[in-house]
Copies of this chain bind each other. A is one copy, B any other.
Amino acid sequence: MNFLDLVNRRQSTRKYIPGRRIPREALDRCLEAARLAPSACNSQPWSFVVVDEPAQVRSLAEAACGHAPYAMNKFALDASALVAVTTEKMKLAARLGAHFRGVQYSLVDVGSACEHLVLQAAEEGIASCWLGWFDESAVKKALGIPRGKKVDLLICLGTAADETLRPKNRKSLDEIRRYGAKATR
């Protein structure tokens, strides 16, 4: 499968068949893809807590999204695994660069790593969804993650209840790129 095919095949899945397990070997390949992602000054400012025991998945999902105002993401209760993604401190050089440039590059890096994770999942036939909207402090409590850490994302992994590929709803290429310096647009 070429890369664009993989990109087209991967989509956000918000309905999973409950009760399915994902082999640890497959989960580890997803994490391996994330591990190899590039990052500013090679800081690798990420860590992952993976929950895949059914009772733990449900209890984490319940803590994360079981209540208002997060209940729109309650579909996470049917995931096979949840990955809590912690954004870690960058190396000093990257922190200085980020400071002077006014950009939190660790978030860019985490975006890149998590996209590797879900693309590898797609290649494994595992459906996925990123969640940014969840009760972070409840997640940290459930996972024993220190309060000072930032859990910016949860990734749901599971078996799609419906594997039909939806057409991707995106801006056109002309809307998002132009060629050449000094265009009018």
Interface residues of A (CB under 8 A from B): 1-4, 6-8, 10, 12, 24, 28-29, 31-38, 40, 42, 44, 46-53, 56, 59-60, 97-98, 101, 103-105, 107-112, 114-116, 118-120, 123, 130, 132-133, 136, 142-144, 150, 152-153, 168-171, 173, 175-184
Contact = CB atoms under 8 A, between A and B. Distances in A.
A104 B101 contact: no
A184 B145 CA distance: 9
A48 B120 contact: no
A108 B153 contact: yes
B35 A12 contact: no
Contacts of A12: 38
A48 B176 contact: yes
Contacts of A180: 49-51, 53, 56
Identical copies in the complex: 2
A115 B107 CA distance: 13
Given A4-B120, A112-B115, A173 B97 contact: no
A118 to B, nearest CB: 8
A45 B152 CA distance: 18
Given A103-B107, A143-B182, A119 B176 contact: no
Contact of A136 (B51, B101, B105, B144): B101
Contact of A115 (B60, B115, B142): B115
Given A115-B37, A173-B32, A183 B132 contact: no
Contacts of A33: 3-4, 7
B3 A6 contact: yes
